[in-house]
Amino acid sequence: MVEKLKDLSSVFDDDLSENDEKMSAEDRKLEERRRFIRICSVVLVVLCTVFLAVMAGTMIALWDTGKSAHDLMSVLNGSYVYAKTQEELERAATEQEHSELEAAPVYESAVSENMTDAGPEVVNELSEETLKGTASITDNATAEQNESEISGIDAIEEAGDDTDAALTPASDIHVYIDPNVNFPLPFTTVDESYFTDALFIGDSRLQGFGMYSGLPGTYYAATGFQLSKYNTMKVVNTDDGKVPITDALPYDTFTKIYIKVGLNEMGGNNAAFLSKYAELIAVLRESEPRAIIYVHGLLPVTAAKSQSDKVHNNPNVTSRNEALKQFALEQRAYYLDVGSALAGADGSLPAEMAADGIHLKAQYMDIWKQYLLSHAIVVTQ
């Protein structure tokens, strides 16, 4: 019995020792993992500390020297070195040019001294290489050299003449004329190319004209456009969305500007309307000083619309057009009575021309277009 108990005890002890060995192996692995994590953490903290110290030192150095982070990046990516190299090259070229200019008078005076007493006969014997760059030669055969000043001269008169060198003006120089010279000028007929640099500003009626007339030009027009909103209402399409006309003006150049507004402001105060109109014209002339300004009269409405609408009716249209005609004269702008070309015998817009009594149908836009073609201003010097 005792021996059996001993055997059992020994077996139990063996199992415990095996379990202890297994637990010890797991503990060792766990301890090794913990040790690795601790080492990585220490290394990471050290790296972060070094990085922050370097950054802090760099920022302090930049601040002390008055430099910016952009300057540092320029140095790192090589653009700073490139810029400095270009700067040095430009400085060297400038210094060389100055030295050449300083040396030129010495040569000029030497030539002048040698030719003062020579007379025309000696001058005629000089080769073309010797006379290269000479602007003119006077009766006493004095030579003056200045290559930079005679660049582009196509003709130099013969030596010994009493006249200076003939200069041929460039034929492609554009002279811009004040659009208000000799105002008012008479209307004349033009072709469609006249409108390629024209700007049209206005309401839905002008918007329809731009869509269906086929007349070239730039159209800043929108439904419901009003003068009181000319600098806030977004009517011009751009890559970044719609913007007001005042935001778009700096990016275009126009020599004719057509303005057709007023229908949406009917019923309002005439003085306030014209005051805002004058403000718009002032803005346009500041941006486009070479542009001829055209003031469109309001188009009439149909007889049925005129009788049924207390605001948008032909008596009000006529009254406003009279004010616009006088206003255009005061503003040195050209009044366009387009309505006279569209109205019937009674002064109203024929019923077949407008489905809603106001907006012109597409097939009748050509009448409006032909009026503009035959009522254009051409400014000549």
pLDDT above 60: residue 318 = yes
Strand 218-221 to 198-202 pairing: parallel
pLDDT above 80: residue 74 = no
* Tens of pLDDT, residues 320-339: 999 999 999 999 999 999 99
**Which residue would you say has higher pLDDT here, 114 or 188?**
188
pLDDT score for 167 = 39
pTM score: 0.55
pLDDT above 70: residue 274 = yes
pLDDT above 60: residue 33 = yes
Q: Look at domain 192-374 and name its CATH class.
A: alpha beta
Strand 292-296 to 256-260 pairing: parallel
Using a 10 angstrom Cβ sphere, with 0-12 exposed, 13-18 middle and 19 or more buried, the burial of residue 246 is: middle
pLDDT score for 76 = 55
